[in-house]
Amino acid sequence: MTAVQVEPTTPPAGRTPGRRLAAGRRKLTMPALHVLFVAAILGVWQYASGRWIDPLLVASPSTIAVRLYQWLGNGTLWQNLRPTLIALLAGFVIGVIVALAAAVLFVEVAPLGRFFETYILALGAVPFVALAPLLIIWFGLGLEPKIVVAALTTFCSFFANAFTGLRETSPDLLELGRILHASRRQRLTKIQFWDAMPYLISGVKQSLPRAVFAVIVIEFLASNKGLGYLITSSGNNLDMPGLFGAVLVLVIVTQGLLFLVRLAEQRLLVWQPRERR
């Protein structure tokens, strides 16, 4: 009987422990660099405060942290963060849904799209925050004017991306759908929607910061609650730690929402090459 030699099987390419470990290290390297960079800026800022920087004009990180801790303790932060988040998310969702519905309608009914495209794109050039006094007269000082201006700003910013993405669907994919006898709904949901996904994600990333800006401006002008009101009232009282703290919270909220969008982008665009994500 002859012995049969069995050659050791090699693990598939891209799945070896060494490559997985290297990929894990790469994923951890970038967040670590960001943490070190922010820590270095805060350290230099804290050291310069009182030496090269007048603390009455620019608050130090330590005083900002103390003020945020006080706001967390007495509920001031949440009382002002909550209305801003509600107005922002409500207006943003409404604007995205209406813009996507309009883009689908104009793509499906091409003559209607060609007629109204010019007007909607021209509407995007209108600074809706300039309409703040009128919206306040119409809706009062509550959430309504902030929701309206956030929805209008989101609509105009998101529509251009959605309309372009749905209209620029690959002809080869549409031809494939016709060959497979796909219905109009199937072509829209299974071909056009996914082919336009990069445009839709880009539209979300562009319109979200603009919606934040619109809401904050409304709160600057006339509001008794919100992060914009907190920034304005802190500035009027020469409360530099409060002013910088409110701005810091606004930046964290905006970046947190964009981070969630980027996570969704990685899941939704998993079919794309990594270099294009």
| C-alpha distances in Å from residue 3, one per residue of 6, 253 | 9, 67
Kindly report the CATH number assigned to the domain that includes residue 153: 1.10.3720.10
Number of domains comprising the chain:
1
Is 23 within the bounds of a domain?
A: no
The helix (H) or strand (E) run that includes residue 270 is: none
- Residue in 209, 225, 260 with CA at minimum distance from that of residue 86: 225
Is 19 within the bounds of a domain?
A: no
Is 263 within the bounds of a domain?
A: yes
**Does residue 161 contact residue 200 with C-beta atoms inside 8 Å?**
yes
Those residues whose C-beta lies under 8 Å from the C-beta of residue 210, and which sit 6 or more positions away, are 153, 154, 157
Is 94 within the bounds of a domain?
A: yes
Alpha helices for 222-239 (secondary structure H): 227-236
Is 264 within the bounds of a domain?
A: yes
Residue 15 tokens, joined? 């799945």
pLDDT tens-place string over residues 44-85:
777 777 778 777 777 778 888 889 899 988 888 898 899 999
The DSSP line for 117-167 is: HHHHHHHTTS-GGGGHHHHHHHH-SSSHHHHHHHHHHHHHHHHHHHHHHHH
Note the pLDDT of residue 18.
56
pLDDT tens-place string over residues 218-258:
888 877 888 888 988 888 888 888 898 899 999 999 999 99
pLDDT above 70 coverage of the chain, percent: 84
Is 52 within the bounds of a domain?
A: no
Q: How many CB atoms lie within 10 A of CB 111?
A: 8
The residue range of the domain holding 209 is 79-270
Is 8 within the bounds of a domain?
A: no
What pTM value is reported for the model? 0.79
